[in-house]
Amino acid sequence: MPSVVRLLEQRELGARRRVDELREEADRIQAELAVAEREWKEWAIARSRVCEVLAPAGETGQDHARADQSVPAAEEQTGKTPQVPEAAKAKSQVPMWREGLAWSALSVDYQRILQVTADRARLGQGPVTCQEMAALFGMDVVPARVEALRSKAKRLVARGWLAEPAAGRFTPARGVNPPGGGS
C-alpha cells in the first residue's frame, strides 16, 4: 500500500507541472501581445502621419497636436485604433443629435459606428448588426466585444444619432449626415 506522503508528493508534482505549463503559455501569450501592441501602435502612428500630410495647409500644426493626443485617448478607452484623430474626446459622452451638430462632437468610437452605418446605408446594404460591426472593426467577434458595441449603438439610438428599425440592426437616423455630407 502506497504511503500517504508518496501520494501527496505525486499530487504536488502534478500540480507543479500544471503551473509550469500555464506559466509557459502565459509567457507565450504575453510575448504575442507585446508584438501585437507594437504593431497596432505603429499603424496608429502611420495613420496619424497620413492624416497630418493630407490635412489642409493652414491646419497642419493643430491637427498634428490633436492626432498625437487621440492615440493615447483611444487606447485608454477601447484598445482600438481610432479612425478620425482630430475628433477624439477625453470621455465618451454622446450629446443629443440636433440639426447642424457635427460628428466631431462624438468620440472616435461613436464616429466609427456612425461611419459604418452610413456606409451601409449609402451602398444600399441596409442596417448593420453589432456582430458585423465587430468584424468590420477587426475585433474578435466575442460576446463581450459585441455587447460593448451594442451598448454604444443603443446610446446613439437614444440620443437620436442612429435608428433601430429592427431589434439589433442599426442605421443612421433621419437627417444625420456623414461629415462633408451636410452635417
User: Could you tell me the residue ranges of all domains in the chain?
Assistant: 4-83, 103-172
Q: Which residues make beta-bridge pairs with 170?
A: 128
Enumerate the H helices of 55-129 as residue ranges: 60-77, 108-122
CATH 1.10.3470 fits 103-172, yes or no: no
Q: Phi then psi for 180, rounded to 5 degrees?
A: 80, -5
| Closest to 157 in 3D by CA, of 166, 170, 167 | 170
Task: Give the CA count within 13 Å in the CB-facing half-sphere of 115.
Answer: 16
The answer to whether the predicted template modeling score (pTM) of the entire model surpasses 0.75 is no
pLDDT tens per residue across all 183 residues of the chain: 678 999 999 999 999 999 999 988 888 888 888 888 889 888 888 888 888 888 776 554 444 444 444 444 444 444 544 443 333 334 457 888 888 888 888 888 899 999 999 999 889 999 999 999 999 988 888 998 899 999 999 999 999 999 999 999 999 988 887 765 543
